Structure 1
Amino acid sequence: MTTIIESRIPVDDLALEATLQELPEARFVCERSVQTDEIMPLVWARATDEIELETALDSDPTVDRWSRLATAENEWLYRIEWEYETRLTFRILSASPTVVLRAHASRHGWSLRLLYPEREEIERTLSFCDEMDIALDVVQIRDADNRPASRYGLTNEQYRALVTAAERGYFDVPRSVTLEDVADELGVSHQALSERLRRGHSALIDEMLQHGSVFE
């Protein structure tokens, strides 16, 4: 069974700790790219000042060298060559058949979404992190099946609640039905439906902003 894990790693166990100490408001997102010999080479950065950011990157011991490829408003795309130990850690975390679906960093740590074609492969990653004293925290494990709910990071109940509410016009302006109407159709309480919609919205916002936009 293909499995997805959501995990976190402290910045001091992976990369960019020095930069994020200098610029705690900065955010970094590794851009997915075709398979190359380089490891996580394309990184979007968001900060308030590009000169301060690039000065911090110059002195960050986890960065060997960098070059800027593109510029947007307070966002920059860099090609980064990581130093050896950082490159090794990235390489093992993303070693075949594991697929890194998402990797982004803030002062709170690195957030990684990893896909494993075989659930047993997760143990390999955990063993590596133990051996290297990397504090990988598994936040969530879920099966990546063909259910729409799974693809969007929703529970079946959240998916059904959102779809039913949308189909009945609950999200229309003005609304065609009340929350109580939708709850009655689903056979749940007003409070239960309200909670499912809130949690479903939160999951969708996280999923869409992580994939549809570079940053949260």
Structure 2
Amino acid sequence: MSTIAEFRIPAADTTLEATFDRLPELRVELEAAVSRSRPCLWITDAERTAVDAALADDPSVETSDLLVETGDRLLYDVTFAPGADTLWDRLLVDGGSLLEGWGTDGWWQARVRYPDRETLCRAHDRLVDRGIGVDLRRVTDVSPSSPSRTNLTAEQREALEAALERGYFEIPREISMEELADELGISHQALSERLRRAYETLVDEEIQPIGESEPPS
């Protein structure tokens, strides 16, 4: 039985504290499949020039490169400074898989799937031992006997299956998003949006309100 945990962690103990302080309305979405060294961040609710300046002055950021600018969304490739505590450094070891990660108002939040509760406990203890203030907000056990259903579109399923087969979810990645998009014959932006919506759909289906996981007797 796998376990899904939702964490809330202050940016002051991890990364981008200065950026959140400078741009309090900023929202950052972390791609669910991340490299340990150079994650991609979708940033909204801020102007590009302001984001560029904030990232350049943030001591937790070593480099940042704008990849995509579309509407009110900006996609940055970021390298964090040596020694900076990132969410995935300790959350994803021992088989953890990031389902969703985002930051706003000075806080990072993440949903992570673990093989079991013991693995979750080890990840939580690593954060505490590091002195990181972690709030474990919700834990859900997912039974393998749960009914198999999904609201994924055919395009979302195709993107997820191709990403899995080609090693996009491995750490480090075996294929870049640009390369995967080329293989699927779509744009980088279209693939990123397709995967993001697929992640949201799967998270909504996996995390059920308490009391709704089993039918009434």
TM surpasses 0.5:
yes
Is contact 1:50-1:74 (8 Å) kept? no
Cα offsets for 1:72-108 (capped at 9, x unmatched):
1121001000112225653222113111111100014
Instruction: Find the aligned partners of 2:138 and 2:129 in 1 and give their Cα distance.
Output: 22
Size of the aligned set, in residue pairs, is 161
The ranges of structure 1 where at least 4 consecutive aligned residues each deviate by more than 6 angstroms after the TM superposition are: none
Q: Tell me if the contact between 2:14 and 2:85 (Cα under 8 Å) persists in the aligned partners.
A: no
1:151–1:31 distance in 2 versus 1, CA, 3 Å: same
Could you tell me which residue of structure 2 aligns to residue 12 of structure 1?
12
Which AA in structure 1 matches 2:138? Q
Which residue number in structure 1 is paired with residue 207 of structure 2?
A: 153
Considering only CA atoms, is the larger Rg found in Structure 1 or Structure 2? 1
For the pair 1:91 / 2:89, whether they are aligned, the reply is yes
Identity across aligned pairs (percent)?
Answer: 24
Partner residue in 1 for 2:175: none
The DSSP-based 3-state class of the residue aligned with 1:84 is: coil
SS of residue matched to 1:85: coil
Looking at structure 1, the residues matched to 106 and 22 of structure 2 have their Cα atoms a distance apart, in angstroms, of 14
Instruction: Note the 1:70-89 alignment, pairs <5 A.
Output: 70-86=68-84
Unaligned runs of at least 5 residues, structure 1: 162-185, 187-216
Which of these residues, 132, 135, 148, is aligned with residue 133 of structure 2?
A: 135
Cα distance in 2 for residues equivalent to 1:156 and 1:58 = 43
Cα distance, 1:76–1:88 mapped onto 2, change above 3 Å: closer
Q: Say which SS state the counterpart of residue 61 (structure 1) adopts.
A: coil
| Cα deviation, residue 151, structure 1 | 3.0
Change over 3 Å in CA distance of 1:26–1:94 after alignment to 2? same
Taking the aligned partners of 2:210 and 2:56, their CA distance within structure 1 comes to 47
The one-letter amino acid paired with 2:114 is Y
> 1:155-195 CA deviation, whole Å, 9 max, x = no partner?
4765899xxxxxxxxxxxxxxxxxxxxxxxx9xxxxxxxxx
Residue 47 of structure 1 and its aligned partner are, at CA, apart by 2.6
Give the stretch that moved more between structures: 147-156 or 109-118: 147-156
Matched-pair contact (CA < 8 Å) for 1:32–1:42: no
Deviations 1:45-95 (A, max 9, x none): 013311011100001111110101101112100100011222565322211
> CA contact under 8 A between 1:3 and 1:143: conserved in structure 2?
yes
AA matched with 1:101: L
Equivalent residue number for residue 3 of structure 2: 3
Judged with a 3 Å threshold, the aligned counterparts in structure 2 of structure 1 residues 43 and 89 are, in CA distance, closer, same or farther, namely closer
Residue 118 (structure 2) pairs with residue 120 (structure 1): yes
Matches of 1:32 and 1:147, distance apart in 2: 24
TM-score after normalising by structure 1: 0.66
TM-score (norm 2): 0.66
Higher percent of residues as helix: 1
Separation in structure 2 between the aligned mates of residue 160 and residue 130 of structure 1, nearest angstrom: 33
Change (3 A) 1:97 1:54: same
Report the secondary structure of 1:96's partner residue. helix
Structure 1 residue 6: Cα displacement: 0.8
1:102 aligned to which of 81, 91, 100: 100
**Cα 1:18/1:4, change in 2 over 3 Å:** same
In the aligned structure 2, how far is the partner of 1:43 from the partner of 1:91?
Answer: 16
Instruction: For residue 86 of structure 1, give the secondary structure of its aligned residue in structure 2.
Output: coil
How large is the Cα RMSD of the aligned pairs? Answer: 2.7
Residue correspondence of structure 1 range 167-182 to structure 2 within 5 A: none
